[in-house]
């Protein structure tokens, strides 16, 4: 067998393993997105069918992606339909894990170009000096950051709320764990490489920009602590009580269930999706225009994204309270 074929098979095996790892992370994110808003522990109790409450077995029922396919989207025991959200999240996180591993450790510079972008050059310089055996902790930190972002997105889309635990975990990873490991690795390799995700010697502006963002975040936290800035939805409990009382008065005192409060998740999610899609579309247009005009890609992408997000934000803004058609409603509508 030619050496090139052996190397190709070896790369495929690595990518399959990485996909399995990413899919397992996605499975954990599904658990977090379901349990955290309900106040249920992440580790305990064990996984159960929410309908028949039968305990699920990992090897029979909980295999990421393929378990849902083998069960044809239904519970093995009560045949209740299982949402396709679960395998989609698992597959998406698995593919993201594969993409980063492929760009960082498999594709050499100059090997693959798409739209004029050398995918092999996406990897940081330190991945060229150290193999995965030396830099795997940084890859795990990256997956932790991506997983936290995905979990926050899922919970926020469902409840319009992000638990603080999901925000503190990536903060500790990025601000504490990664710098400590970078210092340890560089000190044990005579300063030959430092595993920080910056694009080589010219990446210091990015590094200092990130440091500035962290400082700004700290200042914002202090301003909120000293009540110079107010928290979002700080008056939610008062509004909730008033809304419950209002809806209770509108219903007859019968055996009906307690009035449910309409959640603002759909309009807020709709506006958020519109802004994100506009930003991505603007980034693509800016990338294309920058290539045509021989401009720096970053300038084109950033400028077009900013303009697209601004337009989408204006187009999807909620009605002002002065509008005769507007509802005088909750702080969530502001």
Digitized pLDDT (tens) for each residue of the chain, 334 residues in all: 677 787 778 888 888 999 999 999 988 888 888 888 877 887 777 787 777 877 777 777 778 888 888 888 888 888 888 888 888 999 999 999 998 888 888 877 666 666 666 666 677 766 665 577 777 888 888 888 988 998 898 888 888 888 888 888 888 888 888 888 877 777 766 545 555 555 556 666 666 777 777 787 778 878 878 877 776 666 777 877 888 888 777 765 554 544 444 444 444 445 555 555 555 565 556 555 555 555 444 444 455 555 554 555 555 455 444 444 444 443 333 3
Q: What is the pLDDT of residue 63?
A: 84
Q: The tokens of 324 are what?
A: 């005769």
The SS3 of residue 322 is coil
Measuring CA to CA, which residue among 132, 124, 248, 297 is closest to residue 197? 124
Going by C-beta distance under 8 Å and a sequence separation of 6 or more, which residues neighbour residue 56? 46, 47, 48, 49, 62
Q: What share of the chain is helix, strand, coil (3-state, %, to 5)?
A: 65, 0, 30
Q: Is 113 helix (H, G, I), strand (E, B) or coil?
A: strand
Closest CA to 333 of 242, 245, 266, 247: 266
The tokens for 68 are: 């849902």
pLDDT of residue 282: 57
d(CA 138, CA 118): 22
């Amino acid at each position: 067998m030619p050496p090139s074929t052996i190397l190709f098979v070896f790369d495929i095996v690595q990518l399959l393993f990485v996909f399995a790892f990413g899919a397992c992370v996605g499975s954990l994110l599904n658990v977090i997105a379901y349990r955290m808003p309900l106040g249920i522990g992440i580790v305990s109790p064990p996984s159960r069918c929410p309908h028949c409450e039968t305990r699920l077995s990992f090897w029979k029922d909980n295999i990421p992606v393929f378990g849902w396919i083998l069960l044809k989207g239904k519970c093995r025991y009560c045949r209740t339909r299982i949402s396709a959200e679960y395998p989609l999240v698992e597959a998406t996180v698995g593919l993201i894990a594969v993409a980063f591993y492929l760009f960082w450790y498999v594709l050499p510079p100059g090997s693959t170009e798409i739209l004029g972008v050398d995918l092999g050059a996406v990897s940081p310089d330190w991945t060229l000096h150290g193999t995965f055996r030396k830099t795997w902790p940084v890859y795990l930190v990256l997956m932790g950051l991506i997983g936290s972002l995905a979990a926050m997105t899922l919970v926020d889309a469902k409840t319009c709320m992000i638990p603080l635990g999901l925000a503190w975990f990536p903060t500790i990873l990025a601000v504490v764990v990664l710098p400590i490991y970078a210092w340890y690795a560089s000190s044990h390799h005579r300063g030959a490489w430092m595993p920080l995700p910056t694009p080589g010697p010219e990446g210091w502006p990015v590094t200092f920009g990130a440091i500035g963002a962290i400082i700004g975040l700290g200042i914002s936290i202090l301003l909120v602590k000293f009540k110079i800035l107010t928290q979002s939805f700080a008056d939610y409990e008062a509004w909730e009580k008033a809304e419950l009382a209002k809806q209770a008065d509108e219903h007859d005192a019968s055996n009906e269930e307690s009035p449910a409060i309409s959640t603002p998740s759909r309009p807020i999610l709709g506006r958020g999706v519109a802004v994100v899609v506009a930003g991505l579309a603007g980034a693509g247009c800016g990338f294309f225009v920058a290539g045509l005009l021989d401009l720096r890609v970053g300038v084109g992408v950033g400028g077009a994204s900013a303009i697209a997000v601004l337009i989408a934000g204006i187009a999807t803004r909620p009605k002002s309270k002065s509008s005769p058609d507007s509802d005088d409603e909750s702080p969530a509508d502001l």
